[in-house]
Amino acid sequence: MQKFRLLFLFLICPFVLLAQNRTQIKLETAEHATGSPKANISYLRKPIFSHDGAILKCDSAVLYGGTRNFFEAFGNVHINQGDTLNIYSDFLNYDGNAKKAHLDKNVKLIDRENTLTSNVLDYDMVAKIGKYNTGGKLVNKDATITSKRGVYFSNYRDVYFTKDVLIVTTEKTIITSDSLRYNTGSNWTYFYGPTNIKNKDDKLYTEDGAYNTKSENAYFGKKNLYTNGSRSLKGDSLYYYGKRGYGKAVKNVVFRDTKDQTVLYGQLGEYYRDEERIVATQKAYVGLGTKDSVTINNKKRPDTLWLAADTLESQRTLVKDLKLLTRPAVKKDNEIGAEDEKEKAEKDKEKAEAKKLLQQQTDDLKKSGTTANDKKLSRKERKKLEEEAKKPKIKDPPLIDSLLANKNKLRQDSLIADSLAKLKKIMPAVKTDSVKSALQKVATAKAKNVSATTKTNTVSNAKATAGQVVKPLVADSAINPADTVRARTIKAYHNVRVYKSNMQARADSLFYNAADSSLRWYKNPILWSDGSQQTGDTIHVFFKNNKIHNFQVLQNGFIVNIEGDSTKFNQVKGKIITGFFVDGEMRNMYVDGNAESIYYSKDNKGNYDNVNQTVSSRLRFKFLNKELTHIVTVREVEGAVDPMDKLTKEPLLTGFIWKPELRPTSKADVIKGTPAPKPKAGSKPSKKAPVASNKSKSTKANPVKTPPVKPVEKEVVKQAATTANEIQKLLPKAIDSIKIDSLKKQN
């Protein structure tokens, strides 16, 4: 019997507590009241109600007393709960037993610095949760958020938005999503589905993450992508600090620049927006697009250059801040010089031809005599012009000043003739095409014999054309394109590896400059091309039209060449070695400065017969079909020829190096690197396994200094931890309630 009593108490206890929690709605005041005492209904004008600390006002109301404990409010409805929360609407249904309010038409909820508006809002007075499913908008000083559905947790200052969510911040950032949570106190936005974030320069995409609308800090954890113009960055985890323009990507990092045809990979990447720089480490490698092609399965495909290193730094740098290399070229008598000198000679030739053309055109104008318009000149003006023509020529002012000074003194033809004559003196900097254009305009105007007014306009056009030509000559006002133009540069540090079908390389460090299309290897570089290996203190490789064009080995250059499966080493050494490519194959090579060579010659049957040893100040080597065919001694030659049968050992030049085991043979070799050599049998294992690289101990492992940044993810976790457990308990009920309300309205 006692057990039944306890069971009864347990069953009845919740109902007792519920009855105790029910409080009656209290009518404080009203201007007018009528009603039916039997039905316990009152009709009120300007009533003021109180209920569990909340004050409710309206223009008119119908109060259902007794057990119903319910009222309907009409016009200028106002609910005040606590010190900060106020709700306004045109209509209200208030259930005192459930302590819930249903507000309709022009609903406005004001809580602290936030204003939530909607047509329909259901508000739980106890849990302080408001929800809408017909569209709503939240506005505060930092952002404006709209969505089809929403749940507002006043106690936690959290709002859950679903379906067609749009956030517009005061910083002009636009966020679109299908599901997110926004905390009005911390300004953190948490995403639970496909989300796009856009501002003036940046675009961010994620399907799971967090973003602060005030600080612009962000953390993304699923299918993340950051884009800025032609550049994009993605990784499994992406952290971004918008105010500082700094981003960090972790695991499976991919940086792409479609403008430069550059793709950079790694497991850890750091992006600096203002500097347009990215630093990649941990299996970092980059692909550079070229116009060379490689045939695979009878199909031609682009021959990409793959570059890997311990650290890769890619940046768009101002050209004016770069030291550009002069591309080597072959001059007369097999001399190697800078390509700029050759181009300068061609430009000088063009300028001389332009000057000659200008002189001829000027003479033709002088010999043409007077035109119909010249007859309008007075005898006095003609005499003055003839005297000026006879005067000795002095240094003329700039062309524009000359035209302006004479515009009121000379007629059309004499003005043009005089200006063109003066143009001769500054001709070295004038483009031929511009001069031709000006002369053609003058000739066309003369042929048509147009009116004096039209001819005056033609002269003005000629002035403008001439002004465009001369303007770049003024040093003080000229704008150098290099002051604003940027070019892609790539720095690679330690254990550098390069693979391309017709070129492979290793070095300690490398620098790529798109402005002069050059690759520069430093510290014990080794370059392989077909059957040749090049070594030296520094190696430069130049590209032209995105194709490999030539290379240059500076100081202590040493080249080893083998043919096919032969074990005979053709060797070349000198101070400077320069090689030239045609269609991706080496055709000519020049050696300057104490040039030495060992070359194996063949008889008519293709068998080796002699060894040629040569010493000269300059040597030239010719290649065909990837094989050495000729050696040309240019000057100061000394040499010897030894038959093969008289050799006691293979001749080697001092400094001979042959390292085929270090040569990358594929893109995969570049990415994974050459494995460390296995220790010999019986030897003691070292503490650190040797790595096949030329890393310098004196060089710092990572020259890039990353600014200290407080991880966003810690802030996100901290913000979420305070409310996650409580909100999780309330959210399912709120969402279920929205679904039920929606189904009721549909039915």
> How is residue 373 annotated by DSSP?
T
Q: How confident is the model at residue 456 (pLDDT cuts 50, 70, 90)?
A: very low
The rounded percent of the chain whose pLDDT value lies above 70 is 67
pLDDT beyond 50 at 664: yes
Which one is predicted more confidently, 386 or 585? Answer: 585
Residue closest to 577 by CA, chosen among 565, 586, 566, 568: 586
Residue closest to 64 by CA, chosen among 87, 86, 99, 36: 36
Q: How many domains does the chain have?
A: 2
Torsion sign, CA atoms 698, 699, 701, 702: positive
Chosen domain end from 94, 122, 150: 122
Q: What are the residues facing 162 on neighbouring strands? A: 149, 179
pLDDT tens for residues 593-625? Answer: 888 888 888 888 888 888 988 888 888 888 887
Supply the CATH number for residue 110's domain: 2.60.450.10
Report d(CA 191, CA 522) in Å as an integer.
Answer: 47
Report d(CA 685, CA 676) in Å as an integer.
Answer: 12
End-to-end CA distance of the chain: 49
pLDDT at 364: 65
Report d(CA 405, CA 419) in Å as an integer.
Answer: 11
Q: How confident is the model at residue 343 (pLDDT cuts 50, 70, 90)?
A: low
* Residues in the chain, overall count: 747
pLDDT beyond 50 at 739: no
Pick from 375-384, 528-537, 668-677: least confident: 375-384
With respect to residue 15, please indicate whether it lies within any of the assigned structural domains: no
With respect to residue 733, please indicate whether it lies within any of the assigned structural domains: no
With respect to residue 131, please indicate whether it lies within any of the assigned structural domains: no
Considering the chain, what is the average pLDDT of its residues?
75
Structure-block tokens of residue 647? 């050799």
With respect to residue 376, please indicate whether it lies within any of the assigned structural domains: no
Which one is predicted more confidently, 736 or 105? Answer: 105
Residue closest to 125 by CA, chosen among 109, 148, 145, 137: 109
pLDDT at 172: 86
pLDDT beyond 50 at 687: no
pLDDT at 108: 95
Alpha helices in 407-451 (DSSP H): 412-423, 432-448
- Does the predicted TM-score (pTM) go above 0.75? no
Beta strand 305-318 with 486-500: parallel, antiparallel or unpaired?
antiparallel
Q: Three-class SS of residue 369?
A: coil
Question: Could you write out the DSSP letters of every residue in 470-499?
Answer: HGGG-TTT---GGGT-EEEEEEEEEEEEEE
> Counting Cβ atoms within 10 Å, is residue 660 exposed (0-12), middle (13-18) or buried (19+)?
exposed
CB half-sphere exposure, 14, CA atoms < 13 A: 3
pLDDT at 294: 76
pLDDT at 310: 93
Structure-block tokens of residue 120? 């329909």
With respect to residue 402, please indicate whether it lies within any of the assigned structural domains: no
Structure-block tokens of residue 692? 């096949």
> How is residue 141 annotated by DSSP?
S
Q: In angstroms, what is the C-alpha Rg of the chain?
A: 42
Do the beta carbons of residue 561 and residue 543 sit within 8 Å? no
pLDDT at 88: 96
Do the beta carbons of residue 240 and residue 217 sit within 8 Å? yes
With respect to residue 562, please indicate whether it lies within any of the assigned structural domains: yes
Where in the sequence is the domain holding 44, given as residue range(s)?
23-122
Q: How much is the average pLDDT of 82-86?
A: 85
> Counting Cβ atoms within 10 Å, is residue 160 exposed (0-12), middle (13-18) or buried (19+)?
buried
Structure-block tokens of residue 241? 């600090």
pLDDT beyond 60 at 422: no
Q: How confident is the model at residue 99 (pLDDT cuts 50, 70, 90)?
A: very high
Do the beta carbons of residue 497 and residue 505 sit within 8 Å? yes
Report d(CA 224, CA 210) in Å as an integer.
Answer: 12
With respect to residue 536, please indicate whether it lies within any of the assigned structural domains: yes
Chosen domain end from 637, 655, 672: 672
Q: Three-class SS of residue 104?
A: strand
Which one is predicted more confidently, 295 or 198? Answer: 198
Pick from 85-94, 317-326, 399-408, 561-570: least confident: 399-408
Do the beta carbons of residue 559 and residue 573 sit within 8 Å? yes
With respect to residue 252, please indicate whether it lies within any of the assigned structural domains: no
pLDDT beyond 50 at 254: yes
Q: How confident is the model at residue 632 (pLDDT cuts 50, 70, 90)?
A: confident
Sequence-ordered list of residues with C-beta below 8 angstroms from that of 629, at least 6 positions apart, any chain: 622, 623
pLDDT at 148: 95
Report d(CA 736, CA 165) in Å as an integer.
Answer: 19
Chosen domain end from 122, 142, 160: 122
Which one is predicted more confidently, 417 or 200? Answer: 200
Q: Three-class SS of residue 125?
A: coil
